[in-house]
Amino acid sequence: MKVLLFGATGMVGQGVLRECLRDPGVTQVMALVRKPSGQTHAKLRELVHGDFFDYRVVEPDLTGLDACFFCLGVSAAGLGEAEYRRLTHDLTLAAAETLARLNPAMTFVYVSGAGTDSTEQGRTMWARVKGRTENALRRLPFKAVYLFRPGLIQPLHGIRSRTGWYQAIYTLMRPAFPLLRRLFPKAILTTEELGRAMLRVAREGAPTAILEAADLIVLGAPPTRSAAP
């Protein structure tokens, strides 16, 4: 499976990249990045790109791909609706429309968030914008589109958020995660589970397009070894 990854330097994207590189069924991961990350791996190819609203110069590299894991995103904190919509809906759709045209057999997985508003009419700005983004993605002619709606995510394996104040919160919360996971076993997933869930839906599909944290925890469970005969 050839995977295209957006947001590979972010918290979610780093987790997804790790699982893709560990998975023997993934032959190549192409990460579209603003700046080289410095990470090297035989299966990883980084494509440095300047304008995430226009993909014409990189189109020749964006063919023959089986799955796109779209983990790029910004926090709405401090942004007005127009700017958040530009960086969320417009940027994502610019990429997805290009990819659907070049890869009709592609499975596209988008990370939105718990509480996303599919009606696009609610009172919470970020939820309306993510809902509009999800709805627009579902209309594109991909093989399949899956919308991941995680809530709180526990970063594992030294993975860090690119958003400073998020990282500060994760650092403070680190000791509490094991207890929180016990108290809310269907609500908090790890970066590892999220990455495995993406690979699983790309391979096997899922019963519904919208997948909440509880669904992602099930999909991201480690494969069970079959009992010896």
Ligand X SMILES: NC(=O)c1ccc[n+]([C@@H]2O[C@H](COP(=O)([O-])OP(=O)(O)OC[C@H]3O[C@@H](n4cnc5c(N)ncnc54)[C@H](OP(=O)(O)O)[C@@H]3O)[C@@H](O)[C@H]2O)c1
Which residues of the shown chain bind ligand X in the complex (CB under 6 A)? 7, 9-13, 34-35, 52, 71-74, 87, 111, 113, 150, 152-153, 161-163
Radius of gyration of the chain (CA): 17
| In the complex, minimum distance from the CB of residue 161 to ligand X, in angstroms, rounded to a whole number | 4
| In the complex, minimum distance from the CB of residue 15 to ligand X, in angstroms, rounded to a whole number | 8
End-to-end CA distance of the chain: 30
Taking alpha carbons only, the member of 124, 27, 109 closest to residue 73 is 109
| In the complex, minimum distance from the CB of residue 66 to ligand X, in angstroms, rounded to a whole number | 21
H or E segment at 3?
strand 2-6
Q: Could you give the CA distance from residue 42 to residue 120 in angstroms, rounded to a whole number?
A: 42
Instruction: Quote the DSSP letter at residue 86.
Output: I
Q: Could you give the CA distance from residue 163 to residue 46 in angstroms, rounded to a whole number?
A: 21
| In the complex, minimum distance from the CB of residue 224 to ligand X, in angstroms, rounded to a whole number | 27
User: Whose Cβ is closer to ligand X: residue 126's or residue 142's?
Assistant: 126
Q: Could you give the CA distance from residue 141 to residue 186 in angstroms, rounded to a whole number?
A: 32
User: Whose Cβ is closer to ligand X: residue 11's or residue 145's?
Assistant: 11
User: Whose Cβ is closer to ligand X: residue 74's or residue 93's?
Assistant: 74
User: Whose Cβ is closer to ligand X: residue 129's or residue 206's?
Assistant: 129
Helix (H, G, I), strand (E, B) or coil at 211: strand
Q: Could you give the CA distance from residue 156 to residue 165 in angstroms, rounded to a whole number?
A: 18
User: Whose Cβ is closer to ligand X: residue 73's or residue 131's?
Assistant: 73
| In the complex, minimum distance from the CB of residue 35 to ligand X, in angstroms, rounded to a whole number | 6
